[in-house]
């Protein structure tokens, strides 16, 4: 049975990334079958936080990963230089 899944930013639930219809086939976006979404809201939040605490920031992207069921699996902060730091 097809099921509608909504992907939302974990820190701003009003921010809806996409609605997805799941019909039993798993979309393959990462090796773990997760969907990667770059979040502008979290990027500016994290950058603001770092600017305030450190005076500079190297954050270039914040990525949310969702399972094919629309469940948030992890959030990653991408920095200049390619370091990946896993957030909550
Ligand atoms: Zn976000």
Tell me: the pLDDT tens digits for 16-34? 888 877 666 554 567 778 8
Q: What is the pLDDT of residues 36-75, one digit of tens each?
A: 888 988 999 999 999 999 999 999 999 989 887 788 899 9
Ligand 1 centroid – CA 21 distance (Å)? 21
- Residue 8, classified by CB atoms within 10 Å of its CB into exposed (0-12), middle (13-18) or buried (19+), is middle
**SS3 at position 32:** coil
How far apart CA 60 and CA 17 sit, in angstroms, is: 19
Confirm if 75 and 63 have CB atoms less than 8 A apart.
yes
Domain that holds residue 51: 3-87
* R_g of the chain computed on alpha carbons: 15
Decide if pLDDT at 84 tops 60. no
The pLDDT score that the predictor gives to residue 42 is 92
Counted domains in the chain: 1
Name the residue with higher pLDDT: 1 or 88. Answer: 1
Q: Tell me the whole-structure pTM to 2 decimals.
A: 0.72
Ligand 1 centroid – CA 75 distance (Å)? 8
Closest CA to 27 of 8, 3, 52, 55: 3
Ligand 1 centroid – CA 46 distance (Å)? 10
């Amino acid at each position: 049975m097809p099921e509608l899944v909504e992907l939302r930013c974990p820190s701003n639930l009003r921010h809806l990334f996409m609605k997805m219809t799941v019909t039993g086939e798993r979309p393959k976006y990462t090796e773990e079958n997760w969907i990667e979404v770059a979040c502008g809201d979290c990027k500016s939040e994290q950058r603001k936080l770092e600017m305030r605490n450190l005076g500079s920031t190297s954050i270039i992207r914040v990525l949310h990963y969702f399972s094919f069921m629309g469940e948030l699996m992890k959030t990653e902060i991408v920095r200049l230089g390619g370091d990946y730091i896993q957030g909550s």
